[in-house]
Amino acid sequence: MEAFFKLKIPTEVFHIINGFSPVGEETVSLEDTFGRVLSVDLTAPEDLPDFFKSTMDGYAVQSKNTFGATESLPALLEITGEVSMGEAENIIVESGQAVKIPTGGMLPAGADGVVMVEYCSLLDEKTLEVSRAISPLENTIQPGDDFKKGAVILPAGKRLRPQDLGVLAGLGFLEVPVFRKPKVAILSTGDEMVPVSQNPTPGEVRDINRYTLGALCRNMGAVPVYMGICSDHFEPLKEMVEKAVSSADIVWISGGSSVGTRDFTLKVFETLPDFELLVHGISISPGKPTIIGRTGAKPVIGLPGHPASALVVAEIFMTRMLRTLSGNMDARHDVHTVKQAILKRNIPSSGGREDYVRVRLEKDGEHLKVVPIFGKSGLISTLVEADGLIRIDMNTEGLYEGDEVDVMLFSHV
Amino acid sequence: MEAFFKLKIPTEVFHIINGFSPVGEETVSLEDTFGRVLSVDLTAPEDLPDFFKSTMDGYAVQSKNTFGATESLPALLEITGEVSMGEAENIIVESGQAVKIPTGGMLPAGADGVVMVEYCSLLDEKTLEVSRAISPLENTIQPGDDFKKGAVILPAGKRLRPQDLGVLAGLGFLEVPVFRKPKVAILSTGDEMVPVSQNPTPGEVRDINRYTLGALCRNMGAVPVYMGICSDHFEPLKEMVEKAVSSADIVWISGGSSVGTRDFTLKVFETLPDFELLVHGISISPGKPTIIGRTGAKPVIGLPGHPASALVVAEIFMTRMLRTLSGNMDARHDVHTVKQAILKRNIPSSGGREDYVRVRLEKDGEHLKVVPIFGKSGLISTLVEADGLIRIDMNTEGLYEGDEVDVMLFSHV
């Protein structure tokens, strides 16, 4: 039971995870930047927008000519031209003049605002009646209103969303420097494991972790590299781990749920060059037998063998790890959305460890209720039923019906 | 102003959107099902798991032999063998006997439970001392505990998550029937538009919508098909729209922000075979000039031209449309996560329309605060700053500082 005293608590584990570095940089075309993480601060090479434009269909005027205009006492202006979309017209708006302009059109020189077409009527082809005053700059966007030349538009570490691509497009970024997607070597161990394509004989099981962990990687913007299944023996495992280390940025071994294999995993890790053991067991349930180490700068992870436990540990810790390796430093991008809701049943808990309990959200009239999913923790079906997890602190004996709890929604939908 | 009275309110628009059908089905390999939507109910072809297994390292026994066992009065059992992982051993556990078993191992005939190794000690090679009683089935999983043969494991319309792939893997589904990914033809109009690769002259702007709308599609599991930029003229637009209709499942035209082009879009739609106009303007801000129609069963959409307005309309309505076309009928999968938080400033609103206001979330000690992002609604930078939107009902005059509001987080991170 000596190992018990070496268990790390989750906050220590998160701290260790934050100590890893992004895996490297590359340049991708704007098209491919959605969901990618910027590797440098980007600054505006020009003003956005870079000309003075109308935000309405109407007439470009000198605003002072409209001051005091009302429906009963309209201002009268002479129409001297029309702006075409996409053109910088060679027109000057003098006092007393108006030029027709479409939404997005470039304001002609002399004009400092736009009267909406709704407040204009034509007395004749050349004479405009304006029934409402505008203030200077009204219904316009000035150069640099979005971003001024030289301003930081998006910071390094930002995961790019549709609107972020929009700004990059507006400023003409055809290629964008981003962090590489981390490559995750996924390796399942166990003499009982067979590939999904094979019919298991009694006592054998299909390799579930390859698919659950692979999907979780893809959801986090990482690239799974499937190494296959390894039997519970030292030499073949060592060989496969070495291959995994050389072909990926992080290695995940799941399995080793039997005592013997658990030992193998760590023993194999210890043969890796420049190996350091960082975590040997975490005081959580499920997920206690998790191993985190590094070979040089590269993390190597031993996950539990039970598919359900492996996925819960990956959801809690490996999502954070992938975020760190991806260079994602966006404080506004939490890995998990947290929702508050009312617990519908008591949940007992043993002290001395954090419990992560699978829960379902249920609408109950106006309120959102949290229903714990009981059932054997080794069953993958409990995760199929679940919408997320709730954490039970190690210093409590459980949670009570009616408590408001934080539900950590799964990182995927 | 007659058009004003034809505006649809958002709930009517959502109802219309729900009337469309999924785009079709295909079969993909298990590997590629993450994020895809099941097109049929899947049932278990066999029990999962399909054998009686241990969830602990320990000894398989007849539980009745342990009844009453304590540390001071342990039960003594004869060790008659050992189970290997992945094997169906030819051993029978008789009363008074114990067989060593690893986690995940198959229980030998006769045994009905497993004593954890922590409660066992060896008196000699053949004699086991058990210091704690187990109840029947303790520390085991029975065949069918996850899913019984014939049970529905995942329903049609379910978007597949990592754990769902896990169950499919466990049951040996190598190929999975899913709905096709909707193809979205994206088409930008405007004489002022130039491709991102081109330097705009004064009055011209780069085509932002291609990138923002394309990324939004990809986030929703749809496939953007880029049609390019079309000038503000009837004939070329008609030609491009026809090409778009024939090459995609839905057509999005953005642009037509000037009065003239707005008319073109609808006029071109009206030339499509079997065209029906469903929505001509929505009583929201931004996004009023949105058009929704159908040519046969295929939706054709006119989005506002301002990149910021187009993206807000896409976020509110087109995400729902893509969800419908994707066949996603998962009631537990909301397009938008909603978070409650306290408003930090008053937001005025005109009545008669729903306002969607861009907001930022800010941590304020324990509490989450909502900060409205003011600024001209045509600026894309306001969306870059934002984490989501809040809706202001058409029957209110605004929201007040200190109000608890629902923040609709963007569908992407």
Look-up of token digits 């030339």: B271
Q: What residues in A contact B307, CB-CB < 8 Å?
A: 166, 170
Optimal mutation site among B211, B288, B316, B374, interface A, most CBs of chain A within 10 A: B211
The widest CA-to-CA distance across chain A, in whole angstroms, is 96
Give the lowest-confidence range in A38-47, A275-284, A326-335.
A326-335
Last residue of a domain, one of B264, B297, B325: B325
Q: What is the number of other CB atoms lying within 10 angstroms of the CB of residue B153?
A: 24
- Residue at B331 is within a domain: no
B388 CB within 8 Å of a chain A CB: no
A87 CB within 8 Å of a chain B CB: yes
By C-alpha distance, which of B120, B104, B106, B105 is closest to B65? B120
- Residue at A333 is within a domain: no
**Which A residues, 222 through 281, put their C-beta within 8 Å of a C-beta on chain B?**
232, 257-260
If asked whether residues A274 and A259 sit together in one domain, one would say yes
pLDDT(A354) > 80: yes
| Identity of the amino acid at A96 | G
For B30, the closest of A196, A259, A311 (CB atoms) is A196
Span A35-59, pLDDT tens digits: 999 999 999 999 999 999 999 999 9
Residue B212 gets the label, from left (phi > 0), alpha (psi -120 to 50) or beta, of alpha
If asked whether residues B173 and B65 sit together in one domain, one would say no
Report whether B304 contacts B287 (CB < 8 A).
yes
- Residue at A129 is within a domain: yes
Helices B234-247, B259-270: axis angle to 10 degrees equals 50
- Residue at B314 is within a domain: yes
If asked whether residues A122 and A206 sit together in one domain, one would say no
| CA distances, B7 to each of B78, B268, B290, B295 (Å) | 83, 20, 10, 21
In a 3-state reduction of DSSP, which class is residue B253? strand
Task: Please give the backbone phi and psi of residue B155, each rounded to the nearest 5 degrees, phi first.
Answer: -85, 155
- The list of chain B residues with pLDDT below 70 reads 1-5, 256-262, 331-333, 413
Task: Specify the DSSP class assigned to residue B121.
Answer: E
Residues 6+ apart with CB under 8 A from B240: B187, B227, B228, B230
Look-up of token digits 């979205």: B184
Q: What is the per-residue DSSP string for A49-112?
A: S-S-EESSSEEEE-GGGGTT--SSS-EEEEEEEEPPTT-----B--TTEEEEE-TTPBPPBT--
Q: B218 and A34: CB-CB below 8 Å?
A: yes
Model confidence band, residue A260 (pLDDT cutoffs 50, 70, 90): low
- Residue at A43 is within a domain: yes
Structure tokens at A87: 């053109």
If asked whether residues A193 and A304 sit together in one domain, one would say yes
pLDDT(A238) > 90: yes
> What's the length of chain B?
413
What distance in Å separates the CA atoms of residue A79 and residue A63, rounded to the nearest whole number? 15
Q: A381 and B146: CB-CB below 8 Å?
A: yes
Radius of gyration (Cα) for chain B, nearest Å? Answer: 31
Q: Read off the CATH number of the domain in which B403 is found.
A: 2.40.340.10
For A161, the closest of B117, B337, B413 (CB atoms) is B413
If asked whether residues B35 and B172 sit together in one domain, one would say yes
Structure tokens at B334: 């909301």
Q: A307 and B166: CB-CB below 8 Å?
A: yes
Average pLDDT over residues A301-309: 93
If asked whether residues A314 and A352 sit together in one domain, one would say no
Last residue of a domain, one of A131, A156, A179: A179
Q: Cα dihedral sign for A262, A267, A273, A276?
A: positive
pLDDT(A3) > 50: no
> How many beta-carbon contacts under 8 Å exist across A and B?
278
Distance from CA of A273 to the nearest CA of B (A): 31
> What's the length of chain A?
413
10 Å CB burial of residue A128 (0-12, 13-18, 19+) is buried
Distance from CA of A53 to the nearest CA of B (A): 8
Report whether B402 contacts B310 (CB < 8 A).
no
If asked whether residues A193 and A295 sit together in one domain, one would say yes
For A202, the closest of B30, B106, B307 (CB atoms) is B106
For A384, the closest of B164, B199, B213 (CB atoms) is B164
Look-up of token digits 């519908």: A344
Q: A201 and B258: CB-CB below 8 Å?
A: no
10 Å CB burial of residue A19 (0-12, 13-18, 19+) is exposed
A300 CB within 8 Å of a chain B CB: no
Task: Specify the DSSP class assigned to residue B314.
Answer: I
- Residue at A293 is within a domain: yes
Q: What residues in A contact B169, CB-CB < 8 Å?
A: 196, 206-208, 210-212
Span A146-164, pLDDT tens digits: 999 999 999 999 999 999 9
pLDDT(A333) > 60: yes
B206 CB within 8 Å of a chain A CB: yes
Q: Read off the CATH number of the domain in which A155 is found.
A: 3.90.105.10
Optimal mutation site among A103, A191, A201, interface B, most CBs of chain B within 10 A: A103
If asked whether residues B259 and B312 sit together in one domain, one would say yes
As for the ipTM of the complex, it is 0.93
Average model confidence (pLDDT) for chain A?
A: 93
If asked whether residues B236 and B320 sit together in one domain, one would say yes
Going by their DSSP bridges, the two strands B193-194 and B183-189 should be labelled as unpaired
Q: Higher confidence at residue A413 or residue B392?
A: B392
If asked whether residues A237 and A309 sit together in one domain, one would say yes
A342 CB within 8 Å of a chain B CB: no
If asked whether residues A347 and A293 sit together in one domain, one would say no
Span B83-136, pLDDT tens digits: 999 999 899 999 999 999 998 999 999 999 999 999 999 999 999 999 999 999
Report whether A310 contacts A253 (CB < 8 A).
no
Q: Read off the CATH number of the domain in which A265 is found.
A: 3.40.980.10
The tally of domains found in chain B comes to 4
CA-nearest residue of chain A to B173? A196
- Residue at B333 is within a domain: no
Residues 6+ apart with CB under 8 A from A5: none
If asked whether residues B223 and B302 sit together in one domain, one would say yes
Structure confidence at residue B2 (pLDDT): 42
Distance from CA of B273 to the nearest CA of A (A): 31
What distance in Å separates the CA atoms of residue A59 and residue A136, rounded to the nearest whole number? 13
Report whether A265 contacts A253 (CB < 8 A).
yes
Q: Higher confidence at residue A275 or residue A332?
A: A275
Q: A192 and B103: CB-CB below 8 Å?
A: no
A162 CB within 8 Å of a chain B CB: yes
Span A203-234, pLDDT tens digits: 999 999 999 999 999 999 999 999 999 988 89
For A165, the closest of B86, B105, B212 (CB atoms) is B212
Q: B412 and A49: CB-CB below 8 Å?
A: no
Task: Specify the DSSP class assigned to residue A260.
Answer: H
Last residue of a domain, one of A121, A141, A161: A141
Structure confidence at residue B331 (pLDDT): 65
Q: What is the number of other CB atoms lying within 10 angstroms of the CB of residue B78?
A: 11
Q: Read off the CATH number of the domain in which A113 is found.
A: 2.170.190.11
Q: Which residues pair with B348 in a beta bridge?
A: B398
The widest CA-to-CA distance across chain B, in whole angstroms, is 96
Task: Specify the DSSP class assigned to residue A318.
Answer: I
Structure confidence at residue A2 (pLDDT): 43
Going by their DSSP bridges, the two strands A183-189 and A250-254 should be labelled as parallel
Structure tokens at A388: 């997320």
| CA distances, A199 to each of A196, A203, A306, B144, B177 (Å) | 8, 11, 19, 17, 21
Structure confidence at residue B411 (pLDDT): 87
Range B119-143 burial, b when 16+ CB lie within 10 A, else e? bbeeeeeeebebbbbbeeebbbbeb
The domain in which residue B112 lies consists of: 53-141
B95 CB within 8 Å of a chain A CB: no
Q: What residues in B contact A106, CB-CB < 8 Å?
A: 202-203
Task: Specify the DSSP class assigned to residue B326.
Answer: T
Distance from CA of A80 to the nearest CA of B (A): 19
- Residue at A331 is within a domain: no
